[in-house]
Amino acid sequence: MNIGMIEAAARRLEGHALRTPLLSSPFLDEIAGRHVFVKAECLQHTGSFKFRGGWSAVSALQPEIRARGVIAYSSGNHAQGVAMAARAHGAPAVIVMPSDAPRVKIENTRALGAEVVLYDRATGDRDAIGAALAEDRGLTLIKPFDEPQVIAGQGTTGLEIAEQAAALGVDTAEVLVPCGGGGLTSGIALALAARAPGLTVRPVEPEGFDDVARSLAGGRIERNARLSGSICDAIVTPSPGEITFPILSRLCGPGLSVTEDEVLAAMAAAVTRLHIVVEPGGAVALAAALFRPHEMTGEAVIAVCSGGNVDPAILARALVTRGG
């Protein structure tokens, strides 16, 4: 993995991925006690940064390989990203999804032209299921995070952050990134290390699912004790990846974690102050920026809001309980 791969991915994404805005509000600055900038990746096509990685990986395949089709396993956002990228390239897509994924994500993936195969998150092994399907049908497996071209695509988010921060005169800040397997976090960290070395990435996770923070603290890959029971389902993964963890370990500051109450309050603040819709897993970094100000340093913080595919009922709950 190097900056050249991220820049090559940026060229393939040009004109296809949205350059998402860096938003701000004096009201958020006041809550946090410092300048808060929000990279609104929830506005990306398919509603999350996963479109970048999906497009990067699909577009990097040899045409004759791509024409046979791709397969991905995902709790939802990677699924939509790969499905939309595959359709745009005229390639069939099979998506292996947990049966308890939000209904809207399953429906959206099907509507984007993909074949959806469901499995039980508690008892099934999605890696094994994906590998078997790939072999049977000659599909290329596109992993959700531990895959260089996916990391390169997510890293294009970091290239944009570097440019947008420079345009605002921000050359020193912590960059908070919602972290599951670490594809987005490691991609951004690689891009910033090369293009904006004063911007330091810190991964953010939900409390109780802080495998990355513990892995960084201990210097080796740690696993989550459980994989369900969080409203931040989109970023709950067993552990950081074999490719992503060494990058995170080399380039990132310590991990942060936030409570579900903080996540809901951040979602409400995003609605009322920035006018964006952020899903729970995508809101953990903003929650840390707003409600954990003493756990970071500096005059400015940049929080990535990584996805917006929230069940309307959960967003309504956030608004009613925390949006006053």
Contact residues toward its own copies (CB under 8 A) are 15, 18-21, 23-27, 30, 40, 42-43, 45, 47, 84, 104, 108, 111-112, 167, 268, 271-272, 274-278, 308-309, 312-313, 315-316, 319-320, 323-324
Quick check: helix, strand or coil at residue 288? helix
Nearer to its own copies, 176 or 283 (CB): 283
Residue 108 Cβ vs its own copies, minimum distance, rounded to whole Å: 7
Q: 32, 176 in Cβ contact below 8 A?
A: no
Helix (H) / strand (E) element for 199: namely strand 199-206
Count CA atoms closer than 13 A to 49's CA, side-chain side: 35
Residue type present at position 301: V
In the complex with its own copies, the residue whose CB is nearer, 43 or 194, is 43
Order of strands across the sheet with 300-305?
22-23, 35-40, 300-305, 173-178, 199-206, 256-258
Rounded to the nearest whole angstrom, what is the least distance from the CB of residue 226 to its own copies in the complex?
A: 29
Nearer of residues 65 and 320 to its own copies, judged by Cβ: 320
Residue 44 or 74 with smaller CB distance to its own copies = 44
State the minimum distance, in angstroms, from the CB of residue 247 to its own copies. 28
Edge-to-edge strand ranges of the sheet holding 93-98? 115-119, 93-98, 70-73, 140-141
Dihedral (CA of 19, 20, 22, 23) sign: positive
**Closer to its own copies by Cβ: residue 41 or 146:** 41
- Shortest Å, Cβ 158 to its own copies: 19
Residues 203 and 252 sit within 8 Å (Cβ to Cβ): yes
Judged by beta carbon, residue 23 or residue 193, the one nearer its own copies is 23
Nearest distance from C-beta of residue 21 to its own copies, angstroms: 6
CB 273 to its own copies: min, Å? 8
Residue tagged 């005229």 (tokens): 90
CA distance 96 to 173: 38
